[in-house]
Amino acid sequence: MIVTVTYNPAVDQTVQFDEPMEPDHVMRAESARYDAGGKGINVAQFLTAMDKPCVATGLAGGFTGRFIREDMQSGGVETDFTEIEGITRLNTTAIADDEEFKLNLSGPAVDRGIVDDVLERVRAHDPDWVLVGGSLPPGLEIEDIDRIATGGDWETIVDVEGTILKRLDARYSMCKPNRHELGDATDADVSTLEGCARAAGSFRDQGFDRVLASLGADGAVLATEEQLLYADALDVDVVDTVGAGDALLSGLLAAWEAGESNEAALRTGVAVSSLLVSQAGTGIPSLASVESLREDVTVQTL
């Protein structure tokens, strides 16, 4: 069973405009959509949609925190959040004339003592896997990620920005940097696929059993002790890419949970992320076509 930890969740607001973004001009949109978001929260929602047992933990507060709890519970996702005094952030994605603008807040300040409560909740669910994902709200430190990884007898996956990844001390089962984060974490040249694959492979030595590097429209690389695999992205009509990395990771974890190979897991991850980028926002895409879509994904050994 997987428990996710999101220290800094968000309500994801997605707004689409029919014109380019312009300064000093009132931009008007017909509607907006609101999704419970944040890396661990997205993964918990996608895994639940794929019938994989999962609980979302982390910090939530205020009216946005209430929205996240209610939205997830109405979608059948098990939650066990620690209540905070501040108001959970609202992150906005504006899509204007095919350009994507991501406006993320730092989040409400929290006291580090609250991590004890999060850890207790994680332990209570006796997970096999724990995913710690997303940014840290003001008040928390990098050690608060390591505390989760060393807090019990489980395997930990981490999805945080590159500058944080390279400062973690604990041992992790996997990390999931995107291209930019992989560059920040390794200081390597990630401008080519070969450079990314090399960087992902060698970053394993920094305390990660596996590295799943997502490369946007260029696909994804999975580096394990035995294999270096590359999967092409699928050619789909992209609406926005927010949540794409979370969808990739969820598909991969769901396939591993089902006992599938690394190749099959990478295929499933790419299929789920392709469905996610084809819709607006970070809501759960219709997953009925994952099975057929994953047959279209090419995986090669590098």
Ligand X SMILES: Nc1ncnc2c1ncn2[C@@H]1O[C@H](COP(=O)(O)OP(=O)(O)O)[C@@H](O)[C@H]1O
Q: Which residues bind ligand FBP (CB under 6 A)?
A: 8, 10, 12, 37-39, 42, 91, 104, 134-135, 242-246, 282
User: What is the β-pairing status of strands 2-6 and 129-133?
Assistant: parallel
* Cβ 4 to ligand FBP shortest distance, Å: 11
Q: Which is nearer to ligand X, 41 or 84 (CB)?
A: 41
Answer for the pair 170, 146: CB distance below 8 angstroms, yes or no.
yes
Residue nearest to ligand X (CB): 245
Residue pair 111/141 in contact (Cβ under 8 Å)? The answer is no
User: Between 54 and 231, whose beta carbon lies closer to ligand X?
Assistant: 231
Q: How far is the CB of 259 from ligand FBP (least distance, A)?
A: 25
Nearer to ligand X, 156 or 178 (CB): 178
Residue 24 a catalytic site member: no
Chain centroid to CA 276? 12
Which CB, 119 or 266, lies closer to ligand X?
Answer: 266
We find the least distance from the C-beta atom of residue 243 to ligand X, in angstroms, to be: 7
Contact indicator for 207, 184 with CB cutoff of 8 Å: no
Choose the catalytic residue: 187, 205, 246, 296: 246
Q: How far apart are the first and last CA of the chain?
A: 31
Q: Which residue is nearest to ligand FBP (CB)?
A: 37
Residues in contact with ligand X by the rule CB under 6 A: 178, 214-217, 219-220, 233-234, 236, 238, 241, 244-245, 248, 270, 273-274, 277
Q: From the CB of residue 100, how many other CB atoms can be counted at a distance below 10 Å?
A: 14
Strand 208-214 versus strand 220-223 pairing type: antiparallel
User: What is the CA 280 to chain-centroid distance, rounded?
Assistant: 16
Q: Which residues are catalytic?
A: 246
